[in-house]
Structure 1
Amino acid sequence: MAGPESRRGLGLGLCSTPRALRLPSLLVLVTTSSVLGKIIANQGYLHPLQPPKYLRCYRCLFETKELGCLLGSDICLVPWGSSCITLHIKNSSKVDIMVSDCRHKEKMKDCSYTHSSPVFGFWISSRCCFLDLCNDPWSRAIYNP
């Protein structure tokens, strides 16, 4: 049996499978790609221009460069369009205490300022940023050398 009839079952492509299996295989392939496409679309991979609903910011109520966060480290959420903020409290002897938090849109007027603090000899400067976790210690080291 070396004729064309014997070669029909040896191929590995779709044409070599029996006709009864072609339609179910095609249906499984279409259904799987459809389901995976919906999962990927729901995770935001197909819509890169759609901004996230919330901005995540690093929050620490008392931090120094030498010791890191000493009080209240976590992540806060604010609606997109708001900002992350870091306050630097300094004096003339190079003491630098930081406070990091979220800042809502309505309170962003104090995003970039420097003024004297209520404690004599200290002043406060603030800096806002607008990307996820842009005010954490690692990002501050990159963006604010």
Structure 2
Amino acid sequence: MSARPVSCALAGPTHADLLARLHAEIFSEEPWDAAWFAQMLANPAVSGLILSHPAADGDQPAGLALTSAVAEEAEILTIGIMPAARRQGLGAALLEAVIGDAAGRGVTRLHLEVSARNEAAISLYEKAGFARTGLRRKYYRNGADAVMMAHQL
């Protein structure tokens, strides 16, 4: 957990533009647009979080996460921290908030997929209790494999 105080707020369809801007900076190769975020967040099964951290000019959005739940299972659709805010414990704080939000919605199993090339994220997920459950070869457009992971809450 970061030594810096952070906050996580629920995101709704009105946050679609902000989420799209964050996503474009975090995932510049495959950004999702505001229309997609608005459509997803209009679905009651989808939960969005925006992580903010204090800055000289007020709280600044530094990360986002979206999960989709069906019964007791949920998938992390996207999760990420702004490049300039990485390596400060914010990813762990956001992941902790995602797990708490999912548990609060009655989820007992959380799963995700992550690029096999993203060793930092895989390490973060493993430290949070996620285990590898499979591999999807050449899953991403850039040819990277996807590591499938799950966490029993």
TM-score normalized with structure 2 length = 0.27
TM-score normalized with structure 1 length = 0.28
